[in-house]
A and B are shown apart, each in its own frame.
Chain A
Amino acid sequence: MSVATMLAPAVAANAPPPVLEVTDFSVEFRTRSGVVRALDRVAFSVGRGETVALVGESGSGKSVTAYALLGLLDAAGRITGGSAVLEGMELTTASPAALSAIRGKRAAMIFQNPRAALNPIRSVGKQIGDVLRRHAGLGARAAAAGAVEMLRAVGIPDPQRRASAYPFELSGGMCQRVMIAIAVATRPALLIADEPTTGLDVTTQAVVMDIMQKLAAETGMATILITHDLALAAERSGRIAVMHAGHIVEDAPTRTLLLNPRHPYTRRLLAATSTAAGNLSDLRSIPGSLPDLRRDDLPPCRFAARCDRRLPACDQPMVWHDLEPHHRIACWNPA
């Protein structure tokens, strides 16, 4: 086995146990054209009140990680190894019923397109109330009052009236706030936000992210922020885990990752981000594309074919190592 399995995750001694600890987590999809190895030995942890961002290009496995953790993979996908422990409970071997009891209660998720995720023919107040009745055991009256309270908590003006509104009557930003209200209504230990602000205006994005941060600070909720926007991750997370083709290639505190990126892919990603550039000519695209994850001869380092720092050593089995405490990387020749 690789060194990675022997190394303990980067957690300081006698720190409280993380809310979620994922180790060697692998997921495959069986398709007609072969087995897609979508996640390979993914490892990260999220502490109380902490926000960890998963960033990477589309197809890098960010969303699959979230869906697999909550047992929402479709029939073709299965977890092939590793473990994911949420508040002491192993998720990978949990029964569907046990996962169903956790989802929406201890671990909640908000999705990219709030209008599609909400029920179009139920008022938003009722949809929030549903969660409170199912998971908090409230009666109809208490749930309705709780729903108004939650709408107030996510900063929706005139919550009493808005509770009876349908999703189509609300703007995209309001719908996303309703989604957040549904997700946090039961005070979950873990919130997974999958591209929560994609498709929203920047002004709305800022407001929605402020609300999520405030709730996390108040309730000690751990947050996984899935985004393709490195600048958003930079502003809103304490740690960033960079994903590429089903691997976490670099995982470090946000400032460290931005100021001292060590994995060639992280550096490439930063060089392609328009936020930092003074001129268009300063931007560099990343050569090549993600490898086909169905291939049998998938190289150990899935970035190798796109990498300009490749060495013969890169053909050895992939190893994750800590460059320093809390800065983990999967590279034989870090920059």
Chain B
Amino acid sequence: MSGQIGNQPTPPEAEGPLLLDVAEVSKRFPTGKKGWFSGNSRSLVHAVDDVSLTLARGETLGLVGESGCGKSTLVRLLARLTDPTSGSIRFGTRELSAIPAKDFAKDPDRARIQIVFQDAGESINPRFTAADAIADPLRQLQGLSGETLRRKVEEAATLCGLPLELLARFPHQLSGGQRARVGIARAIGPRPDLLVLDEPTAALDVSVQVTILQLLVTLRESLGMSYVFVSHDLNVVRLLCDRVVVMYLGRIVEVGPARAVFDAPLHPYTRGLVAAVPRLDGVRADALRLVGDPKSPIDPDPNACRFHGRCPIGTDRCGVEMPALRRFDGGRQAACHYAEAAPA
């Protein structure tokens, strides 16, 4: 499926309803320093640890957690920009985890997974015009050129609500909202099945943020894409996502329908996260505060809950027995021994 792929978003193959099936994926980085007492084994940063998740076609999955929780590493794994240490990543009917990231860059399926990066002002080559930026993936991944390329670029720009007369401008000549549109147009140009959005609205004012979010919803419906949406902003995740994955120190602590998770979190970490979000109706006196910082991700104790020590309801058991992700009603999962004890 290389070359002129046309407008078909998804080749009508015998693919199941799941677009992405990630099973027990881990990513560890060696720290470079050898521990004094650990002999020859190097210390490892457990950036992503035993993560499993699925993404249905047309679904939007939110990914939330504090900085350093492994969101970005997971995104890079899903987009196959980096290689997992272990585990499987199935995309459609294909197993992608065994393909080295370097080879995947030349793979025809590269075009089917695209990323919108955080700050389009930073992620677009400053010496590329908007048209160059949008054309680049079409050229590189689909070998388009000339009139076809120009038509495709204009089509992508139009879909993203970017006036064609702005295509000749450089990033610094565009407003924040226009730059965000260029970033999105660049990503949807090759008509991906999966769009990974890494904090696409973090740098925008609220009024612009609204239009970009609404644009994303329109595009998802008209092009039939699935989204993985990474954000710090829980309000935005609640509004945009069908399901949400909450991560803490490399592990998934809670999964479920976005509204259910935010309205009645099962995991104490999610409760702390939700309680910390400022609300227009003012601060609650009994607001739960997560104090302290996460533990080090370097060689964590494999038998202790990662949240142990910072957890308001943890017991000694949490220090010796890692809680597994358990299933709950309503398609929810949580990794806590005491998830049932969640206050309403």
Contact = CB atoms under 8 A, between A and B. Distances in A.
Interface of A: 57-58, 157, 171-174, 201-207, 210, 228-232, 234-236, 254-255, 258, 268-270, 272-277, 279-281, 283-286, 289
A280 B62 CA distance: 15
A234 B236 CA distance: 18
Contacts of A157: 292
Nearest to B272: A203
A274 B207 CA distance: 10
A285 B282 contact: no
A283 B210 contact: yes
Contacts, number: 106
B49 to A, nearest CB: 20
B164 to A, nearest CB: 19
Given A203-B273, A232-B278, A272-B210, A58 B236 contact: no
Given A57-B205, A274-B235, 8 more contacts: A202-B277, A207-B290, A231-B280, A235-B279, A272-B206, A274-B209, A275-B280, A285-B214
B234 to A, nearest CB: 7
Contacts of B217: 280
B283 A285 contact: no
Nearest to B259: A278
A10 B206 CA distance: 29
A158 B66 CA distance: 23
Nearest to B201: A274
B64 to A, nearest CB: 10
6 A-B pairs with least C-beta separation: A286-B207, A231-B278, A274-B235, A206-B276, A285-B210, A202-B276
A106 B236 CA distance: 39
B211 interface: yes
Interface in B263-277: 272-273, 275-277
Contact of A275 (B272, B273, B278, B292): B278
Contacts of A207: 289-291
A252 B190 CA distance: 50
Contact of B281 (A228, A234, A274, A285): A234
Contact of A236 (B175, B209, B273, B283): B283
B276 A205 contact: yes
Interface in B231-255: 232-236, 239-240
B316 interface: no
B287 interface: yes
Contact of A277 (B239, B287, B289, B292): B239
Contact of B282 (A228, A235, A279): A235
A324 to B, nearest CB: 21
A263 to B, nearest CB: 15
Nearest to B175: A289
B5 interface: no
Contact of B280 (A58, A210, A273): A273
23 contacts: A57-B206, A58-B205, A173-B293, A174-B293, A201-B67, A202-B234, A202-B276, A202-B277, A203-B290, A228-B206, A230-B206, A231-B277, A231-B280, A234-B280, A235-B283, A254-B282, A258-B281, A274-B209, A277-B239, A280-B239, A283-B213, A284-B210, A285-B211
Nearest to A288: B207
Which interface residue of B210, B273, B289 has the most chain A CB atoms within 10 A? B210
A201 B232 contact: yes
A206 B289 contact: yes
Contacts of A280: 213-214, 217, 239-240
B61 to A, nearest CB: 16
Nearest to B67: A201
B205 A275 contact: no
B289 A269 contact: no
Nearest to A57: B205
Nearest to A269: B206
B208 interface: yes
A274 B236 contact: yes
Nearest to B177: A289
A231 B208 CA distance: 17
A289 B233 CA distance: 23
A287 B292 CA distance: 42
Contacts of B233: 274
B207 A272 contact: yes
Which interface residue of B66, B206, B282 has the most chain A CB atoms within 10 A? B206
Interface string B189-211: 00000000000000001111111
B207 A285 contact: yes
Contacts of A202: 232, 234, 273, 276-278
B293 A285 contact: no
B226 to A, nearest CB: 17
Contacts of B66: 201, 203-204
Contact of A285 (B208, B236, B240, B272): B208
Nearest to B206: A272
A230 B236 CA distance: 15
A2 B215 CA distance: 43
A285 B283 CA distance: 26
Contacts of B277: 202, 231, 275
